Structure formats: C-alpha cells, structure tokens
Structure 1
Amino acid sequence: MSPSRGTLPAEFSRLVAERPDATVMRQKELGVWRQYSARDVGEQVARIAAGLSALGVRPGEVVAIAAGTCKEWLLADLGAQTAGATVAGVHVTDAAHETCRELAALEARVLFIEGEEQFETLLEAGELARLEHIVVFRADGLRRAGDPRLVSLHDLQARGQQALAADASLVQRLLSSRTAADAAMIVYTSGATGRSKGVLLSHRAVLTAAGALQTALAGTGAMAGERVLFQPLSHVMERIGGMYASLMQGAVLNFVESQDTVFDNLREVQPDVIFAVPRIWERLHSSLVVTLHEATRLQQWAYERTLRLGESVARAREQGTTASAATRLLHAVGNRLVLGNLRRMMGLDRLRVGISGGAPLSPSLVRWYRGMGIDLRHAWGLTEMAGYAAIAEAGDAPESAGRPLPGVEVRLSEQAEILVKGASLLSGYRGSAPRSQSQWQSQSQSQPELDDGWLRTGDIGRIDASGRLEIVGRLDEVIAMATGRQVFPMELENRIKSSPYVADVVVVGDGRPQLSCLVMIDHEAVEQWAQERQVAFSDFRSLCASPEVLKLIGDELKRTGAQAEQGVIAFRLIDTPADGDEASLTPAMKLKRWRIVDRYSGAIDSMYAVAAA
C-alpha cells in the first residue's frame, strides 16, 4: 500500500487488477456460502459509484450507511468512496432517534439502509427531510413505492451500468480525482462516557493504520487468511482492522448470517485472525465454561489439568524462558487430545492470533486463552487514530498493550495521560475546524486537543523500560471518593468481569466513602446455571431478583477479590437485558457508564443507604 499517494478505492482497484479471480468475500445465501471474486466485487463497486454520480453525488459530500454487517456494507462503502464521497457509518445499535440526530448532523443527502422496516422506524423517530435518496440493500416487498426517495441497490447498480455504458472512463476519472489527503470516512466514537463524535479520517490515515497493522502482524501469517466479520462496520476496529487491512492483504472476508449465528459461523469458517471487542472474548469463554458444566468429571479434570499446563508454558514464554521438558510433553498430549477439540467447538482451532481492542481485557482472561493455546493480544488505539496505535507482541505480559505501531509516537504527560501523534491522526471532527500543527478548535471542552501535534487521548497509562504500554484507566472515569482516594475503575471492573457469570459491570463511588457496583449478568450462563439448580424464574427480571442468583454474583465478587481487596461493599443487578436496551450499549458492546449511572441513580442511593443503616 502507498499511504502517501493512494486512496482506499485506488488500492482496491489495484487488488482487482492484480488478482481478479481471487476470492475476496463470502456470504450465505439460502444456507450456502456464496463466494465473490475480486472482479465480481470490483464490478459492483464501479456500478454503485457510477450510479451515485448519476444521482448527483459530488466529491467531498457525505454519504451515510446505517446497516448491519453484510457484504452490501462493503460494496456501498467502496462504491461511495469511489464516487468521491466521505462515507459515514451510523451505529445501528443506537436508538432510532439518536440515528436521526446523527444523520441530521452529517447533512447527508444519500443514505444506505438494510430494508423498508428500518426506513419506517427511522421515519417515525425523526425528521428525514434532508435525505434525497435512500438506497435499500434488500428491497423485497417494498410497499412505499410512492416515496420517490427509495431505490433498491439493484436499481442503483442498473443506473450505474447505464452511466458506464455511456462513459466508460467515468470510474477511472473519479479514482484519479481523489488524493490521500481527502476525507475517506467519518467514524463515530463509541459514546461510552458521553455523546458520540464524528471523526474525520483521511485516506492517508486509514491506509497508514492498515499498513502498520499488517506490519505488526506479519509474523503470524494470519492477515491473508480467513476472516469472519460480525461486529458493526460503523465501529473503527472492524471497519479498518477487520475489513480493510484484511482485504488489502488478500484475506477472504466471511460475513455472518446474523448476530444470532456468530458462533455457528465461527465454527464453520474457523478463521485465521479475529479482531474483537472484549465482550466477544468474554462470551466465548463463558460459553465454553457453561458447556463444560455438562462434561464428566474425568473430562473436566483433563481440561483443567491441560489448561494449567498450557498456562505454565505461556507464562514461561512471557518470562523469556522455556517450560520443563515434562511440562511441554504433557501439554502437547493434552493439547492434541483435549484443547484442540475445545478450540474447534469455539471456532478457534485455526486461529493464528486474536486481537482484543476497544477496551482493555482482564489479564486473567488473556492468561486463560493463552493456556488454551490461543495467542490473544491486546490492541490499543482510539477512533481519532484510525483505531490502532499499539499492539502487543507474542509473549508480552497479559496486561500489556505492546509497543506503538510503525509510524506512531506515544508519550505520557505529567499527569500520565497518553499522548499520541502520527500519520493516522484524524483530520478533524464533522463540523469542527481541521487540525493544525499547534492548535485545535473543538466543538466542546470534552473533545481531544492537540498540543504541538500531540493528541490528548484521555487514557491514563504506563510505559515500561522497553517501550511497552499499559492502560490504567480513563481520566473522565476516575472516581473521587469522599475519603480522598482516587480510583480508576477499569482494573476492578475487569477483575469482576473475569467471572463467566458477569457480562459487564459499572463500579461507582464518586463522593462516597466506599465503592459499590452495578452488575449486568451473562444471560445465557446464569440462565443455564439456574436451570441446572431448578431455580424458579419467568423472565430476565425475575432471574435477576432470585436469591440464588444474587448469592451467586455475591460469591463471584468475593472470589475475584472485589470485596475483600478493593472494598466493594454492595452491588445491584441491572435487570434489563443488554440486547433489549440498545441505548445503553456502545457499538463495542460496553455499557455506557454515564447513562447507566443516571438511569440507576436511585438504586445506587439505596445501596449506600442500606450499607449505612
């Protein structure tokens, strides 16, 4: 790749020219994986680009995509970029009214969506008058034929085909008109600690980050293998790491059927690399732990024994030594007979490397994966740096985020805030002034600032003597207790989330003498636990209210050391399931702290009132 001169569409065009018959993606149709060559995808991208040009899309304007993860997302993204547009992925996990707010702020005239039902939902939630064209991926049974704005993706491509027949050089001219400095995309931040912000990333920034990622993982040989895409493509991690960095390296992108089939599709494909947020790694772990409850005592003993051997081998590697010959021999036998079967059940048997990013992952969980024979590593970055700034290397400590990627510089401020700079830095925010060498004009004081070219990330960290980074927490999440103690909740929350029965947790205690927490249980794991013990419940709320489940979570808090070591005096369960409360989740499947604290303020007050009584 050539970040200094190229654009994403130009790089993909080069891939098509060099390897036209290579399979680049698959998606299931009627239960069968259908594959698409680079030529197939290139032709569809060209037709979409020409069709958008025929609709009046001009270089530099914003085109939005609000859809789940599917091949059409990629086609629309590359097609709109080829037409010269800046493509904004809108989080479909947000509430419909928030999606409408983002669309209004983007001032987009063209929107890609999945189907008519989604259009109806958006229409009811907000004002969409500015939209002139709404392209529907799946247009079967469109009822609003009278709405002139609606057009199917098929019809858009047909219009593009007509434009190309009249002007065969149209796409080439479009490709030649864009430069590396032009804005390629707008990616919204997760909104975990406040409102999402639209980050402008240039083609240079995206290609720089993708190239650095490829360089960092070159030794694994994983980037040119099989990929399974299942996270929101509006999220920077999947869009740049999972999709573009992999695609440009020659990977095959397999799009999941739905969010309900993610683990089934992982087992079918057995990918070479996975880029995933911590919640995915936590769910895979919880799912296996729950499955092992049904195993025989001998099978459980074999698993636990082999896992301990694997952890010993991994720990020796982290320390720069080698485990004993006996340990390595026993582990090799157990790995073949026990762990290999379990990895296949998880869809991870061919995994060469797993990357966890978007938020730190519990070191104990990293150790578990390494004990299972899976090379799981932390990645650290932020949307404003195209998602990736540092990645751990094989053998790094479980808590390490590794060294900065090629072309990225990292340092700490006097307050230990992480500062970064590099070619993958954002161009600006949608609606704000572009960055300069020495100053930054932001939309609000909560936005990052540049100080002589350095981006203030808001993350607190440590850098060891070898230049490896460790994330401690976030400035805007620090808990200032009444005792004067300051607590970064991340480490404690990760410790609690190492439990297979905990999906997420928010530790609170600002202005209080002690800490407490709000816990989101892992629905599947706790439900199965309750059924095995014949605990009576009728729905999620009654499951959370059952004395047996409350005792289970209390015991888990004790086991993880949250109570005795960290002083968590009380907890409450969040009794609304995460998948039924999308407004409280980020695209990285993390609870929005500010929203949870606000919504459960009464429960928080009651915890402290009971504790004080």
Structure 2
Amino acid sequence: MENSPLPAQITINGVQFNATPGQRPLRVDGCVTICQLFQSRCAELGDRTAHREKDLGVWKSYSWADYWQHAKWIGLALRQLGLERGDVVSVLSEDRKEWAWFDMGIQGIGGIASGVYTTDAANQLQYLINDSGSRFLIVEDEEQLDKFLEIEDEVPDLLKVIILEDEGLHELDHPRCMMIEDLYDIGKQAEAENPGLFEAEVALAKPQDTALLVYTSGTTGQPKGAMLSHENILAAIESGARALPTLASDEQLCFLPLCHILERDVSVFYPLAGRCTVNFAESPETVFANLQEVSPSTFTAVPRVWEKIYSQVQILTQDATPLGRLAFGMALKAGLARAEYLTSGKPVPAGVAARYWVWDHLVLKNVRRMLGMDRLRRGGSGAAPISTELLTWYWAIGVPLVEGFGMTETAGLASLNTTEENRIGTIGRAVAGNDIRISDQGEIQLKGMNVFQGYWRNNAKTAETFTSDGWLRTGDLGHIDDDGYITITGRLKDIIITAGGKNITPAEIESRLKFSLYVSDAVIVGDQRKFLSALIMIDQENVEKFAQDRKIPFSNFASLCAAPAVKELIGAEVATVNKEFARVEQIKDFRLIDVLLTAEDDELTATMKLKRGLVEKKHAHLIEDMYN
C-alpha cells in the first residue's frame, strides 16, 4: 500500500501556508511577495475596516479599499515623478495610516521603503538619505520638514519631499516640496491615463527583490541599512502565524516607531495575513490612554513600556486605602500561585484555580480593565531583555505576557515563547523554518529564510555578520536546553573581564536592577577594574512621588538625583539585588545619571535601549569618581 502524499499546504486561522516551513517558493495564501498579498487582501476585504486613527479626538475608520486606493495613487505618482524599480524612498513620520499606505505604494511600484526615526537630527537624516540614495523623502509636518531645509544642499540626489500635514505651511513655495494631496492628484491622473499599471507593477515583483531597507539603531558606529526581501518578510509572517496567530477579529494598537522592524511586522505585515484592524496611537505620549480606549486583543511592546505599566499599578496601589492594598495583595498572591503552574506547563490544581477565580472577579479584572487589557489575549515583549520577575507579575494579574527574540537582520523574528509553551527566562524556541545553534564561543547563530540579504552597499560588514558556513552571527551569548528553549546570557561585546580575570556578563544584573520601581535603566561597569560599579537612571515618576511623600525638597531632575534620601533609596535597591549574585558579581558602588534621557539623546536608541559605550564615554567622570 502506497503512503499518502503529504499535503502541499496547511491552513492556519483561514490563511494558507506551505505545509513544510521554509519551503521555496514560500506562499502565503498563494502569494509570493508582500505586494501580491496586499492586493489580494484589499480585493477580498474591501469595505472592512483596516485602520483606525483619531481625528479631532474622534476615532475614524478606513477600509481595505481605502488602503488599496491610496497606496495605488502613491505608487503611480512616485513612478510619474521619477521613481524607478530598486530606488529607495525614506519616510520620516510618527505612526499613522499614511505610513502603511506609503509602505505598500512604494513596494507595489518596485521601490524600497526605508523609515527614519522622528527623533533623528538633521545631520542623521542627511547621512541616511545619502547612504540609501533615497530619491524621495516623506515628512510628517513642519517640524520634520525643517530638518530637510537645514540640509537640502547636502542631499542633491533627492528629487522631492512630500509633506503629510500642511499646518503652518500654507505659504510654502519650494521647488522640491509638495503636499500629499498634490501627490494623490498626480496618482489619480496616472491611473486614468494608464489603468492597470499599478497592478502590472505588483505582478513584476519577485520574492528575492529587496522590499525594505531598515537601518539598525547604531549602538556602535553609524547605522547600517539591512536589506530585507519579500521572501524574508513572508517567512517572518509565516513563523508568527504558526506560533502567535493574529485573528481577523483582533484589534491592535500601533505605537512603537514603524521604522523599527518589530512594529512594522506587528502593525503592517502580520495584519496582511491575519486580516485584523490596526489602531494608530495619537502620539507616544498618549499610548496608555489609547490603550484604555482600544482595549486591544494583542499588544506587543518593548520592556520599557511593560515596566512603565507595572510602575503605574504600584503607584496606584500605594495610594489605595489600606483595605484596597490588602485586597490587591491577596489577589496578587492568588495570581502568583496560579502563574507558577501556568508558566511551567503544569495543570493548575482545582483549589489554586478556584482561589484565583474569586480574586480575579473581585480585583484583577478591574485592574486589567483600568489598564486597557481586559480583552488582551496575549502580550508580547521583544527588542531588549525583560526581567523574569516582571513576566511573572503580568501572568499573575491575568495578562499572558511572552518573550521572543529577533533582529532587524532576521526580519524581526527568530524565536518565541507562546502562551501554551512558555518558559520564563528564555526567549523561547526557534520559530518554524528557522534553525539556531550555539557556536564554540557560546554565540547564538541563526539560519533561515527570514535572514536578511546583507547590508546596503557594505559588503565588508555583511561578510563579518556571517560565518564561513553561512550562519548569521547575532553577537548574543546563550545556551539551548534539552527542550529547545534558548536563554540569552549577554552580549559578546559586553563581556566584562575584571582585573582579577573574572568574566562577567552584565545583562542579568542590569535586568534585575530594572525590576525595581525606582530604577529605569542601568549600565554595569567594571572591565579591567577591581570591582563592579553601576551607572543608574532613576524612574522619574516613582522617585518624584517617593520624594514628595516624604517632603524631600528638589527643584529639578538633577537636584532630585542629588538628594541624600534618593541615593539611600537606590542604594537599598542595589543591596537587595546584590543578594542574588556571587560576591564577584555584586555592585560595590554606583552613581546616578542626573540627566533625564529621551530617545532624542545620543545615549538612547529609538527603542529606549542604552548605548553602553556612549553612556560610559559621556559619563566617564562618574565612573572615575567611583574608582578613585
């Protein structure tokens, strides 16, 4: 009797994928490129809502038909103005529906979309435009336009700047600038004169064509442009759909910069497969209010955001009545007991489940409702390490928060925990179609269809990033357990070798410090030194409340950091963390960074990660003070 042939495809939540992960050509609902999938979805879903965005305080809906029509006008207009296949278009804007429209319009016509962080200075914009050879620049408003005007003579190859908002610019008359409505008019005329041209261009795209140019955050040296093909992105879509599926009924909130591959995946590419609705936050400052309004089904954020939400709950708890604090403490205790079983894959005993049910109905449901997480099916954390204590706390309040790992160079995804198979303290298992190994030096290395094509115009750096047998070097140290779960222990370049010859990876110590209510971030110092020390950023909101409650005088952030009681507070937090580590790993001294850092400061990346080398350089006087 002959064996039955294996199925060519499998269906996950109504989306068809190749039955074998990583099989070429990779097809998502029969499509081999992002722009083909976009065309298919818009034709299928038509008047269904694709995006929501606030206008004068009111949420407004925009359909998949709107999505297609505007992307088509954008693509045709850019072609009319001189964009050729393989040319780059840079987008300098906060998250909004037009970001996605431009992304699809650029790709549809054969161009390459490249995002620029709105926190970048004019000289950084100049570097990115010239390095990428961008032919067009999309700017959100007058503030971002000013950056171009400052460097316009230094970017001679840029053909046009397209402006999304005209407020304050009604009198603008510049030969290289135009408003978005004028671009739409060009697109409409081009469509009338060449019906079917955009569809024909979409059909020309090939899986190996470069679709995106995503610049790394530049924690060391100038940013490098990672080239991601249509196939790379479809591989990430497939892996995400298999492990953490997006449902057609899901509501999502887009708020991380769309320049970053994590948010691009979550809010542009995964919704193409999952058919869900994306709500755009009004601004980075309104994220928590928008989260309450939208109450999303899934929510993916960097650790700094999850830490901030946790801090808000702690502040509210401190301000509650004695009875309220007691009730929350009892509810949290019941939640932690249940979380211990859930996060270890064990069945929850009936008594533990019953006690949690009671406290969930009395307290925890209201907490989740207050946070805008009452409908949350799954939370995700990535882009930086998150403390195990924080993950456990979220599971305890009824928010299943899972950690994953990815890089720009892996189209944002390489390994994942899931709500069903989750091992806290790890970054999960390799996603479908991805292989992970540990080198002899302990480095995590990757191979898969999601791995990027290389760095734009930088063959030397590309060669450095791959091993001789074709595996991607992540630069992360780690190990894999017998069940396939991967643990990151640190960064190769961050290893501290003390004067006594001890090798120490600082990531775990820093992560434990950041779980403190009063610590926002920390950098462990000690290379070639006799002991470890730390540069610490305090959590402004929580430390200010601590000072106000105790009538500790301060006039600004610097004076707050200088207050003896604040130094004692942080010292106590450091002492608590020290108890968890061996003597050689303990922090013997610390200094507070008394400058309030934002993403606009050089020391922080746009995803709020400290640039270790730059922090140590800028605050060298603090370090020397500790060791002298």
- Whether TM-score is above 0.5 comes out as yes
Equivalent positions of 1:83-98 (< 5 A) are 83-98=109-124
Distance 1:453 1:191 in 2: 24
Give 2:22's aligned residue. Answer: none
Is residue 380 from structure 1 mapped to residue 399 from structure 2 by the alignment?
A: no
Q: Deviations over 1:207-255 (max 9, x none)?
A: 110121011013xx65750100000000011011333113431111000
Which of the residues 44, 65, 70 maps onto 1:18?
44
Is residue 583 from structure 1 mapped to residue 609 from structure 2 by the alignment?
A: no
Is residue 469 from structure 1 mapped to residue 494 from structure 2 by the alignment?
A: no
Q: Is the 8 A contact 2:578 2:587 kept in 1?
A: no
Equivalent positions of 1:94-109 (< 5 A) are 94-109=120-135
- Deviation, 1:305, is 1.5
Q: Is the 8 A contact 2:137 2:158 kept in 1?
A: yes
3-state SS of the aligned residue for 2:375? coil
3-state SS of the aligned residue for 2:578? coil
Is residue 553 from structure 1 mapped to residue 570 from structure 2 by the alignment?
A: yes
Question: What RMSD, in angstroms, separates the aligned Cα atoms of the two structures?
Answer: 1.8
Is residue 200 from structure 1 mapped to residue 217 from structure 2 by the alignment?
A: no
Give 2:334's aligned residue. Answer: 309
Give 2:207's aligned residue. Answer: 180
Which of the residues 536, 544, 547 maps onto 1:527?
544
Q: Is the 8 A contact 2:247 2:274 kept in 1?
A: no
Distance 2:281 2:191 in 1: 32
Equivalent positions of 1:258-273 (< 5 A) are 258-273=283-298
Is residue 145 from structure 1 mapped to residue 162 from structure 2 by the alignment?
A: no
Is residue 245 from structure 1 mapped to residue 264 from structure 2 by the alignment?
A: no
- Deviation, 1:125, is 5.7
- Deviation, 1:432, is 2.5
Give the counterpart letter for 2:608 in structure 1. Answer: M
Give the counterpart letter for 2:271 in structure 1. Answer: S
Percent identity (aligned)? 38
Summarize the Cα distance change of 1:509–1:118 in structure 2 as closer, same or farther, 3 Å threshold.
same
Give 1:600's aligned residue. Answer: 619
3-state SS of the aligned residue for 2:465? coil
Give 2:9's aligned residue. Answer: none
Give 2:560's aligned residue. Answer: 543
Give the counterpart letter for 1:574 in structure 2. Answer: I
Give the counterpart letter for 1:561 in structure 2. Answer: N
Q: Deviations over 1:119-175 (max 9, x none)?
A: 213433672333220011112331663311111111101110011011111111110
Is residue 460 from structure 1 mapped to residue 477 from structure 2 by the alignment?
A: yes
- Deviation, 1:316, is 1.6
Q: Is the 8 A contact 1:557 1:563 kept in 2?
A: no
Q: Deviations over 1:460-499 (max 9, x none)?
A: 1110101111111110111111110111111000000001
- Deviation, 1:194, is 4.3
Distance 1:224 1:545 in 2: 51
3-state SS of the aligned residue for 1:43? helix
Distance 2:436 2:61 in 1: 41
Give 2:88's aligned residue. Answer: 62
Summarize the Cα distance change of 1:577–1:26 in structure 2 as closer, same or farther, 3 Å threshold.
same
Give the counterpart letter for 2:199 in structure 1. Answer: Q
Give the counterpart letter for 1:39 in structure 2. Answer: A
Distance 1:275 1:481 in 2: 37
Summarize the Cα distance change of 1:273–1:93 in structure 2 as closer, same or farther, 3 Å threshold.
same
3-state SS of the aligned residue for 2:554? coil
Give 1:437's aligned residue. Answer: none
After the TM superposition, which of the residue ranges 26-35 and 144-153 deviates more from structure 2? 144-153
Give the counterpart letter for 2:222 in structure 1. Answer: R
3-state SS of the aligned residue for 1:450? coil
Which of the residues 467, 474, 477 maps onto 1:450?
467
Distance 2:564 2:494 in 1: 31
Distance 1:323 1:25 in 2: 39
Q: Is the 8 A contact 1:97 1:122 kept in 2?
A: no
Distance 1:305 1:558 in 2: 27
Which of the residues 294, 312, 331 maps onto 2:356?
331
Summarize the Cα distance change of 1:581–1:59 in structure 2 as closer, same or farther, 3 Å threshold.
closer
After the TM superposition, which of the residue ranges 130-139 and 321-330 deviates more from structure 2? 321-330
Q: Is the 8 A contact 1:496 1:562 kept in 2?
A: no
After the TM superposition, which of the residue ranges 150-159 and 92-101 deviates more from structure 2? 92-101
Give the counterpart letter for 2:244 in structure 1. Answer: L
Is residue 257 from structure 1 mapped to residue 274 from structure 2 by the alignment?
A: no
Q: Deviations over 1:333-391 (max 9, x none)?
A: 11111111111111111111111110111011111111111111111111111010010
Distance 1:606 1:55 in 2: 58
Distance 1:251 1:562 in 2: 46
Distance 2:150 2:75 in 1: 30
Q: Is the 8 A contact 2:120 2:600 kept in 1?
A: no
3-state SS of the aligned residue for 2:444? strand
Distance 1:542 1:353 in 2: 40
**Runs in 1 of length 4+ with deviation above 4 angstroms?**
221-224, 562-565
- Deviation, 1:320, is 3.7
Give the counterpart letter for 1:528 in structure 2. Answer: K
Give 1:297's aligned residue. Answer: 322
Distance 2:264 2:248 in 1: 14
> Structure 2 stretches of 5 or more lacking a match?
1-15, 18-25
3-state SS of the aligned residue for 1:58? coil
Equivalent positions of 1:34-433 (< 5 A) are 34-124=60-150, 127-142=154-169, 145-218=172-245, 224-394=249-419, 395-433=421-459
Give the counterpart letter for 2:38 in structure 1. Answer: F
Q: Deviations over 1:295-331 (max 9, x none)?
A: 0111111112211211111112333433433322111
Give the counterpart letter for 1:140 in structure 2. Answer: E
Q: Is the 8 A contact 2:478 2:490 kept in 1?
A: yes
- Deviation, 1:563, is 8.5
Give the counterpart letter for 2:402 in structure 1. Answer: R
Distance 1:46 1:56 in 2: 16
Q: Is the 8 A contact 1:45 1:79 kept in 2?
A: yes
Which of the residues 568, 571, 574 maps onto 2:593?
574
Q: Is the 8 A contact 1:95 1:582 kept in 2?
A: no
Q: Deviations over 1:521-575 (max 9, x none)?
A: 1112212222222221111111111112111111111223369743201111111
Give the counterpart letter for 1:95 in structure 2. Answer: A
Distance 2:568 2:277 in 1: 46
Q: Is the 8 A contact 1:459 1:474 kept in 2?
A: yes
> Structure 1 stretches of 5 or more lacking a match?
434-440
Distance 2:557 2:375 in 1: 36
Distance 2:151 2:139 in 1: 15
Equivalent positions of 1:452-531 (< 5 A) are 452-531=469-548
Q: Is the 8 A contact 2:477 2:489 kept in 1?
A: yes
Summarize the Cα distance change of 1:405–1:160 in structure 2 as closer, same or farther, 3 Å threshold.
same
- Deviation, 1:274, is 1.2
Q: Is the 8 A contact 1:193 1:593 kept in 2?
A: no
After the TM superposition, which of the residue ranges 525-534 and 377-386 deviates more from structure 2? 525-534
Give TM-score, length-normalised by structure 1. Answer: 0.94
Distance 1:236 1:276 in 2: 12
Distance 1:268 1:498 in 2: 27
Give the counterpart letter for 1:187 in structure 2. Answer: V
Give the counterpart letter for 1:42 in structure 2. Answer: W
3-state SS of the aligned residue for 1:312? helix
3-state SS of the aligned residue for 2:385? coil
Q: Is the 8 A contact 1:26 1:252 kept in 2?
A: yes
Summarize the Cα distance change of 1:310–1:223 in structure 2 as closer, same or farther, 3 Å threshold.
farther
